[in-house]
Structure 1
């Protein structure tokens, strides 16, 4: 899905040190079942396992036109890999109705990656087919997987033709220059087999996925869209756009046919609904429940909202967490706090290109990526929350785990917490605090956090 939003980036402010002791109330513990993010079994040799690090959304809405974007991303993949990224998510890569101006969400020719002169251009907004292949090759050389954004709910740019089922004309005659997946009204809603199965998205005709021919052309045939993306262009996984527009079995069948990491955009803030969809599709889902709870917590100044239900709390192996994407940017004032949250908690976190490259402190984000990849293992216990404090513990999985302390107040705070470590010196791996306390024999220790900031504690 696509939305054009005004966005801004705010760096966290620092303030002089001063102490404000919080009350030492009994901690509230909310345990979550230990889960590990799944990795795909059919990855190309030599790539980092997807889910072992962090995903980069390698675009934003209205990236520069002119065919330069693939080369821009190519120049960054090695640095991203060095920072701990394990996969990059690219925008829809094939020719769309708006040609060289399109962000790709109005798909026309699924086999034109910037090769054919149609829709007013040869290249896509992002570049040529050869430049895309060079980018993917560079990403693979940097051990990164490449996730394709797949738009199969609707098509755009077809010619008008009469539909005898409805007795009306629709824009459903598609004759792309690639000569592949030529479409007529029978491939859309309604058609002679599914007369009542109608659907239109934004005025675009919706593909009829129950039609066997559509299934064959999209993912089943040896020369299908999915297999061409994977075997010829080199993509490794899939981000499905607007999965509310078709049934979960479509994503499941696609993934079972061609393999690869799979995540769907099911735009819904209800964690139960997301859990249902990911179970039916047997795929990951973007954790919109987590996104909306973070918005309420950090911009709404109520960190108690972080105790609410989220997909990662129900099934972390299926949750892809995010702070911002090309459609949404509602977390303004607490954006770094939100990144501290998703990069220390369960789920597979995503970083947004503009947050990383333009708007926020890259050094701080790299530090959180390192913390995620090296310390943030195991199940989660929420130790304390109030309006402006949040403390949680990761219990460790092949590592010592961590304690994250997030502070949305305008002053320093400190609190006693129970750790997993007895008689152990710990430190704040963010560098925000210079304390290096030793935990007591009973595993308790006092930790601190700066104003409008966070600290992450683990054995030194």
Structure 2
């Protein structure tokens, strides 16, 4: 049974509020409040549990340990990164700076040898145990480099107290030889008995259709569809000590998994992998329906990318309707299993990216930063500032204070001595100001982005006026 998102709507008693204001502010506040029709939406739909990023650091160079629903993840690649075997070294050269900025984990592209050899992005896997150390598919190194370089990168990341997630493609395989297939009555490209590593050899028995059935949840791109119902396949993927999952975790030292195209197989596959192998996991379930995302995450016992949030942000920021941010998203349903993002190697639709990053880096969920956004396309100093805010201020559950077409204001309510924050996003072309209610009485606050020079003091009833620049954002918290 699907549970609708519980929201608590509380309309503020403006009469009581006005009585507590000083006389010279009453008229201005009354006009503001009347025009805004203040409404606070408390997002308390995870049983009231506080949401925290973990250890609170006070320095820009603090190291952060990631956890499901906390920290910041870097997608450390994009589609068609430079070929030539240099990518592992490129990422290696950046992990110290990323860690100093507060990034706690990196997600790497599929690391094993694929059909297209030195030119493959890894999503057409042939040999799960060839990391660039076997001469296979026309090359020894993968597009990204050698096994030695990959191990060096993982070791360096761990030295910097960062986790490393492997992109795992287990829906389909590619690069097998042709063989007669009695289940299809034709020849199929399903003979992987000659893989150079000699591990996880496969034949037509290990792909649909076969003795276990005609198909599972979905095939992809005409590739041979791996049969997870086969005990042999299960054994090699996640059960045996020298199988794919445990070899990646225990020998290669990966800390977690990004599962590609999970629509192609049952959620039980990820659940069984996680139960037998362990580590953080997130599934790519490309679906904007929150019920679908939440059901899969619960059934798989895994995090899931918050495509519902992604598409709402696209419509809100590019469609000039920030009120859409009131709608349901995975991070509101289950923040500890929601991985939020602004763009990735497959999709890049949002134009107002800094506004979107200001949203995911101040709200609940496990935010992901896209390599090209950070290293090439956006202002790195502004992203670093938002990462710092996320790691130091973004604690507690969320109350949406105000939204309309152009403006959105939300409050993180703080946790365990951390005061939380108020984020103000303005998609209009002019400066905006709003009276809002904080959790702080008679306290000076400031904008931690530096976009506003105001240092207002909250009133005894916790109300204060804040501002936000055009096409910009501010993030307010106690001045300390």
Per the TM superposition, whether the score is higher than 0.5 is yes
Q: Please say if 1:305 is aligned against 2:324.
A: yes
Alpha-carbon displacement from aligned partner over 1:238-276 (angstroms, at most 9, x marks no partner): 000000000000000001101100100000001111000
2:258 is matched with which residue?
A: 239
1:407 is matched with which residue?
A: 426
Range with bigger deviation, 338-347 or 193-202? 193-202
Whether the aligned pair in 2 keeps the contact of 1:189 and 1:199 (CA below 8 Å) is: no
Aligned partner of residue 377 in structure 1, secondary structure: coil
Whether the aligned pair in 2 keeps the contact of 1:35 and 1:315 (CA below 8 Å) is: no
Which residues of 2 match residues 251-400 of structure 1 at below 5 A? 251-332=270-351, 334-398=352-416, 399-400=418-419
Q: Please say if 1:123 is aligned against 2:145.
A: no
Alpha-carbon displacement from aligned partner over 1:395-423 (angstroms, at most 9, x marks no partner): 00131010000000000000000110000
2:439 is matched with which residue?
A: 420
Which of 28, 41, 54 is the equivalent residue of 1:30? 41
Q: Flag structure 1 segments of 5+ consecutive residues without an equivalent.
A: 1-20, 41-45
Which of 48, 62, 68 is the equivalent residue of 2:65? 48
Which residues of 2 match residues 77-226 of structure 1 at below 5 A? 77-174=95-192, 175-195=194-214, 197=216, 200-226=219-245
Whether the aligned pair in 1 keeps the contact of 2:51 and 2:395 (CA below 8 Å) is: no
Whether the aligned pair in 1 keeps the contact of 2:237 and 2:244 (CA below 8 Å) is: yes
Structure 2: distance between partners of 1:165 and 1:370: 56
Alpha-carbon displacement from aligned partner over 1:18-41 (angstroms, at most 9, x marks no partner): xxx99432311111124456999x
Q: 1:123 to 1:347 in 2, by over 3 A?
A: same
Q: Residue 49 of structure 1: CA displacement?
A: 3.7
| C-alpha RMSD of the superposition | 1.8
Q: Residue 161 of structure 1: CA displacement?
A: 1.3
Aligned partner of residue 477 in structure 2, secondary structure: strand
Alpha-carbon displacement from aligned partner over 1:265-293 (angstroms, at most 9, x marks no partner): 00000111100000000100000000000
Structure 2: distance between partners of 1:416 and 1:394: 17
Aligned partner of residue 458 in structure 2, secondary structure: coil
Structure 1: distance between partners of 2:276 and 2:381: 40
Alpha-carbon displacement from aligned partner over 1:300-341 (angstroms, at most 9, x marks no partner): 111011111100011001000000000010001x11000000
Aligned partner of residue 349 in structure 1, secondary structure: strand
Q: Residue 155 of structure 1: CA displacement?
A: 0.3
Structure 1: distance between partners of 2:117 and 2:390: 39
Q: 1:384 to 1:428 in 2, by over 3 A?
A: same
Structure 2: distance between partners of 1:357 and 1:186: 45
Aligned partner of residue 200 in structure 1, secondary structure: coil
Q: 1:35 to 1:147 in 2, by over 3 A?
A: farther
Structure having the higher Rg: 2
Q: 1:354 to 1:198 in 2, by over 3 A?
A: closer
Q: Residue 166 of structure 1: CA displacement?
A: 2.2
Whether the aligned pair in 1 keeps the contact of 2:64 and 2:103 (CA below 8 Å) is: no
Q: 1:349 to 1:115 in 2, by over 3 A?
A: same
Aligned partner of residue 85 in structure 1, secondary structure: coil
TM-score (norm 1): 0.92
Aligned partner of residue 170 in structure 1, secondary structure: strand
Q: Please say if 1:450 is aligned against 2:469.
A: yes
Structure 1: distance between partners of 2:310 and 2:202: 38
Aligned partner of residue 205 in structure 2, secondary structure: helix
Range with bigger deviation, 262-271 or 23-32? 23-32
TM-score (norm 2): 0.88
Range with bigger deviation, 51-60 or 381-390? 51-60
1:7 is matched with which residue?
A: none
Q: Please say if 1:58 is aligned against 2:76.
A: yes
Q: Please say if 1:436 is aligned against 2:447.
A: no
Whether the aligned pair in 2 keeps the contact of 1:50 and 1:87 (CA below 8 Å) is: no
1:69 is matched with which residue?
A: 87
Aligned partner of residue 78 in structure 2, secondary structure: coil
Structure 2: distance between partners of 1:257 and 1:125: 30
